[in-house]
Amino acid sequence: MRRPGLILALLALFVLAGRVGLPGARDATPTGTPVQAGADFVLGRGDGPEGVVGLGEPERVAGLRFAPEVHPADRQVVLGAIGRTRPQARRLIELVDGLTTVRVGPTGRRSVGQASAPGNRRYEILLDLAEVSSSTGPRGVDQLIIHELAHVVDFALVSDALVGELDEGIPRGYSCEPGQRTSACAPREERFAETFAKWARADVGHGLYIGYAVSPPASLETWALPLARLAG
């Protein structure tokens, strides 16, 4: 997720979206394996198409993993953010949390969060909780956490067909400067993660200047109906 900030001249344009990216701001390109269009796992019995395996019961119930150095207070912040999401979104996160390790600290990049798939169908997120807490407060922290976990949902569960269907339902947004990765130029994976987080939290981001300035759908609930069906 891109670093928070304010551009007063553009507030009127983006009050219903995330934060506008600044030239030279930290980028949020995930490390490790690039964001994949296809799902790594299928739900239900057995495996799926070539290279796609069934998500087993041990993985479903394992629970979120934290790196040893993550402070207990930060662990509670992350778990609290998940607990405040709507039930269908929480169900999707809980399906993949046993595959996910959380780290907390600066990203060293133009972002305040990163999601990666280092290999072996395991995922990792890195959260700069201190930076976001000081600049945007609790709403921004929750948005960051769910945004990065949305990338994991994308990696693990969202198929090519569902990717296309969901992306068609996200407005293309406003114009952007050459080289920027916000609004109309936001990458597909960031459009999904930002919109998933808004849906999961029932918060379109009014006055919350963090992220990729992705305009929300007219109805988050309608947009997310395929995700709700996937959650079961």
The pTM is what?
A: 0.82
Q: What single letter denotes the amino acid at residue 53?
A: V
Each residue's pLDDT tens digit, 90-101: 999 999 999 999
Among 56-65, 67-76, 164-173, 189-198, name the one with the lowest average pLDDT: 56-65
Who has greater pLDDT, 50 or 147?
A: 147
Tokens of 95: 């399906």
Phi, psi of 113 (to 5 degrees): -160, 150
pLDDT value, residue 54:
65
- Cβ neighbourhood burial of 114 (10 Å; 0-12, 13-18, 19+): buried
The CA R_g of the chain, rounded to the nearest whole Å, is 16
- Distance, in Å, from the CA atom of 22 to the CA atom of 20, rounded to the nearest integer, reads 7
